[in-house]
Structure 1
Amino acid sequence: MNAKSTARIAVRTLVATACLVPLLISPTRGQDDIADVPSEKYQLKDSALEYHVIGGGGETSPAKGYKVLIVLPGGDGSADFLPFVKRIYQHALSDEYLVVQLVAHPWKRNQKIIWPTQKNSVPGMKLSTEEFLAAALDEVAERVKVDKRHVYALGWSSGGPAVYAAALDKKTPLTGAFVAMSVFKPRFLPPLDLAKGRDFYLWHSPDDRVCPYRMARDAEEQLRENGADVKLETYPGGHGWRGNVFGALRGGVYWLEEQTQQRPQK
């Protein structure tokens, strides 16, 4: 592991209604450690929606194309999470990956739903988060070769519900989902029988007083009952990125990769 991965991440939790706006992360130090991590900012075609592509930039790309991790940050979902997401790329992923960080867009003033979805929308919304995710990936795939067998989404806290929704939407290109410290509310999701053949890695603390741990257990049980492969891992200390953060992220992505490899190619 790179020695820089021992750097600690300070976590500040904001408690809000229905666990939709907690968890802001701010580095405890400068950004010299990620100065050489390549990233580019893009605006989705014909839209005000913004996303960042992290990684790549080398002289050669993977023969099968880049694996992709699409990130929906927690908290306010803003571009302020870019340093943390760069560290995810630097310390938790191989050079075979690109990271696509979506930036949450406020469609109206005082919007409480950070990542609105097709079944949990907000007035004035022009694209759901599921559509945003799919469109951003399409644009990335126009620029570089993408290994479509390995397209995963990571969402924590406020980003988790939209990752569940996208993973259950057959129109999205996801092959797996990593949901951390978030809520699970099936009434705002597509039918759970669409979970068949999808993979979900859940990371949640039993001590969480912001997003109840029982929701992670419910997700594990109900998604598995509907044909998904699910792994629920726990950590101590309550809501937030705690302990060996990048090791936990690396382990979750590796598990998703393993599930993908075990399936026959279409």
Structure 2
Amino acid sequence: MAAHTDTVDQPAPRPARTAVAHRLLMCRPQYFDVTYRINPWMNPHKPTDAGTALLQWEQLRELYLSLGHSVEVIEPLEGLPDMVFAANGATVVDGKVLGARFRHRERTAEGPAYLDWFAQGGFTELLWPEHINEGEGDYLRVGRRMLAGTGFRTDPRSHAEAQEFFGLPVTGLTLVDPDFYHLDTALAVLSPDEVMYYPAAFSPGSRAVLREMFPDAILARAQDAAVFGLNAFSDGLNVLLPQAATGLIAQLRERGFNPVGVSLGELLKAGGSVKCCTLTLS
């Protein structure tokens, strides 16, 4: 009679992570300051240090370069202190550029400035939007689908505009917490089929959609979301995020990613961090 052998379930193997080199656009915080308040993070009475902001920004740029990414730089314009947040300047998919139309008058001149840069840089498929959208702040590509935020900045009517222009399905997600006023403050794309997000930032219906689409997503805790840990950039292996988001760093490492902590505390005074400073061109 054959001996009985117990079998032990083995843990599922981690997926192999591979970094993908990207072409990125950034804007130096030469004129960075907090002189108005358009989100809860901004306090014009709290001092800012443009020199520190520039140093932290340069460290982020150098980190991208060291990881094999290419970085192009758009010249900042005086009087536009938030222009450093390049992610808001446009949305780019397959070389097609959807311009940004900002909700607050303090930032409206940024949209044309970024679109001019694309036109001068040889991009030929450009669309000046009919409806308000704040670029990659509220549009994040996951594989061949777009996630689109609304609730505080981007007009939900722009979702159909983006779907028609890019020819990709767009899934709308509603943000409900003013501290997380852009999608990229509440959700980060990690790979073509993986995300991490903070459930409490979304409406009940949007949370249900995210659970359906990404049942194995990394869920951020309040303390990591509060330090902008989800305002992150991933190349498929390396995930750049605020170094204070220790819980997310641990979860990312468990999933086989290489989390890289970054310090951008000065720019956080205006409600921005890693992803806000980074527009993906390709």
TM class by smaller structure: 0.3 to 0.5
The higher relative CO (CA closer than 8 Å, separation ≥ 6) is in: 2
TM-score (norm 1): 0.35
Larger radius of gyration between Structure 1 and Structure 2: 2
TM-score (norm 2): 0.33
